[in-house]
Amino acid sequence: MPKNVSKLLDQQQLEAAFQQFNAVSDKLIDAYRQLESQVNVLNAQLDEANNALRQQVSANATLAERLGMLLEILPAGVLELSGEGVVISENPMAIQMLGRNVEGTLWSEVLPLLKSTDLDQTFRSESGLQLTLQYKDLPASGGRIALLHDVTRMNQLANELARQEKLASMGSMAASLAHQLRTPLSTAMLYAANLKKHDLKEEDRSRFIDKILTRLKALEGLIQNMLGFVRGHVSMREPLDIAQILEDLGAVFLPQCQAKGIDFVCTHVDPSAITVMGDRKALVGAMTNLLENAVFFSPPGSRIALLVSERDAMVCLAVDDSGPGLGEQEQMRVFEPFYTTRSGGTGLGLAIVKKVAEELDGQVTCANRSEGGARFEFCLPISVV
């Protein structure tokens, strides 16, 4: 091959190599520029993320500061417990309530400092404070928060309120009792004054003495009822056969209803089918009050029923009358001492019924019947023999 031709070929190859190098260089430069652009974008995103993170850290620090200040002034004791039951942190109020610093102590060793009281979920600290204790789990750490509330003042106010209400109730009862005593006493005094007349006939004297004795017996009965209400009526408890109680009540009230022209219906129960634990005299007395009330308000030719039912492990003796029923206000107050709508009534009969029911772990309720009249229901727990 001629030398000139060979030289031309070498020059062409060299130019081709330079062109290829230049093309590769251009590609590398483009790739570098793209990479540089991506790096700038990533740096910008990183700066933005760092700024957001710094803002979040600042916000968390502010929140932590606020929470710390809140725990400092919170009027409740807050203790953080680890999953192992160790006190990790406590606020100043917790230290004040417990009377000591317990951070780093097992909570099981702190609990004996809180003594149980008669009040539900209430404890007494060594300093004499009455505290309530609540827990809140912390799922993330496996620990929990113990929260102490000082209820000493609240319990003192509640006791004071109860005392004031009792005094007010006693005052109201005393006023009502005085009113009940005044009428028969004034009548007796009036009749007694008539006995001083010198020209009084013997038959009139005897009549006035009888009226005085009647009023004095009424006073004695009122006082006895009052004493019974205050002291309670249940003196002992024994198994009582409901069937026998019904038989005794029926024997007493059937003649009374017949004399007034009232139809008396009494449910019959198989002997020993239902037994309750109670005081026979108190139970019969309570049911007698309910039946006497029904006879008083039921007109001649009407119907009175003494019914028995069982529900929720209770036996209920219901007295249905055919009277005018009860107004809304009467239903709310009918069992209050000295409240009565009966002329000449003392207002203690139904109050005694309620007290007997409560003393026998039962209850008494009243309601109007859809067909007219009222229903009083006396319920007692069934005795399981």
Average pLDDT over residues 140-158: 86
State residue 344's pLDDT score.
59
State residue 231's pLDDT score.
58
Same domain membership, residue 166 and residue 109: no
pLDDT digits over 49-82, tens only? 888 888 887 777 777 667 666 666 677 888 889 9
Pull the structure tokens for residue 260: 């007034």
State residue 64's pLDDT score.
65
Same domain membership, residue 258 and residue 163: no
pLDDT digits over 161-195, tens only? 877 876 676 666 666 666 666 767 787 888 788 88
Selected residue with higher pLDDT from 1 and 110: 110
How many CB atoms sit inside 10 A of residue 362's CB? Answer: 21
Pull the structure tokens for residue 325: 């029923």
CATH code of the domain in which 120 resides: 3.30.450.20
Average pLDDT over residues 378-383: 90
Q: Which helix (H) or strand (E) holds 20?
A: helix 3-73
Residue 295 near residue 261 (C-beta atoms within 8 A): no
Radius of gyration over every alpha carbon of the chain, rounded to an integer in angstroms: 45
**Helices within 313-362 (DSSP H only):** 328-333, 349-359
Q: Give the separation between CA 125 and CA 190, rounded to whole angstroms.
A: 64
- Give this prediction's pTM: 0.49
State residue 197's pLDDT score.
82
Q: At what angle do helices 280-297 and 242-260 cross, to 10 degrees?
A: 30
Q: What is the residue whose two structure tokens read 């009052």? A: 226
Q: At what angle do helices 349-359 and 280-297 cross, to 10 degrees?
A: 150
CA 3 to each of CA 11, 22, 365, 380: distance values in angstroms, whole numbers, following the listed order: 12, 29, 134, 135
Q: If you average pLDDT over every residue of the chain, what do you get? A: 82
Q: Give the separation between CA 266 and CA 326, rounded to whole angstroms.
A: 23
> Of 73, 101, 135, which marks where a domain is finished?
73
pLDDT digits over 88-133, tens only? 888 888 888 888 888 899 988 888 888 888 776 788 888 788 888 8
CATH code of the domain in which 252 resides: 3.30.565.10
State residue 156's pLDDT score.
85
pLDDT digits over 332-341, tens only? 888 887 777 7
Same domain membership, residue 130 and residue 104: yes
Residue 368 has pLDDT above 90, yes or no: yes
Minimal CA–CA distance to 97: which of 147, 136, 148, 134?
148
Same domain membership, residue 63 and residue 93: no
Across 100-109, 196-205, 228-237, 273-282, least confident range: 228-237
Q: Give the separation between CA 167 and CA 160, rounded to whole angstroms.
A: 10
State residue 69's pLDDT score.
65
Same domain membership, residue 95 and residue 2: no
Q: Which helix (H) or strand (E) holds 172?
A: helix 152-194
Amino acid of residue 123? F
The sign one gets for the Cα dihedral 350, 353, 357, 359 is positive
Query: What's the number of domains the chain is made of?
Result: 4
Measure CA of the first residue to CA of the last residue in the chain; give whole Å. Answer: 134
Average pLDDT over residues 19-29: 81
Same domain membership, residue 89 and residue 59: no
Same domain membership, residue 252 and residue 220: no
Selected residue with higher pLDDT from 299 and 384: 299
State residue 252's pLDDT score.
84
Same domain membership, residue 329 and residue 196: no
State residue 20's pLDDT score.
83
Average pLDDT over residues 315-332: 89
Q: Which residues constitute the domain of residue 213?
A: 156-231
28-57 burial: b if 16+ Cβ within 10 Å, else e: eeeeeeeeeeeeeeeeeeeeeeeeeeeeee
State residue 51's pLDDT score.
85
State residue 363's pLDDT score.
92
Q: Give the separation between CA 33 and CA 29, rounded to whole angstroms.
A: 6
Amino acid of residue 304? I
Q: What is the residue whose two structure tokens read 């009966």? A: 342
Same domain membership, residue 359 and residue 264: yes
Q: Give the separation between CA 37 and CA 26, rounded to whole angstroms.
A: 16
Position 155 confidence tier, pLDDT thresholds 50, 70, 90: confident
Q: What is the residue whose two structure tokens read 């700024």? A: 51
Selected residue with higher pLDDT from 113 and 368: 368
> Of 213, 231, 249, which marks where a domain is finished?
231
Mean pLDDT is highest, among 21-35, 90-104, 193-207, 209-223, for 90-104
Minimal CA–CA distance to 269: which of 240, 251, 246, 248?
246
Selected residue with higher pLDDT from 154 and 119: 154
Same domain membership, residue 137 and residue 25: no
Q: Is 23 exposed, middle or buried (0-12, 13-18, 19+ CB in 10 A)?
A: exposed
Same domain membership, residue 368 and residue 243: yes
Name residues whose C-beta falls within 8 Å of residue 246's C-beta, 6 or more positions apart in sequence.
266, 267, 268, 269, 306, 308, 317
> Of 73, 101, 126, which marks where a domain is finished?
73
Same domain membership, residue 18 and residue 49: yes
Q: Which helix (H) or strand (E) holds 221?
A: helix 202-231
Residue 258 near residue 315 (C-beta atoms within 8 A): no
Q: What is the residue whose two structure tokens read 């709310």? A: 332
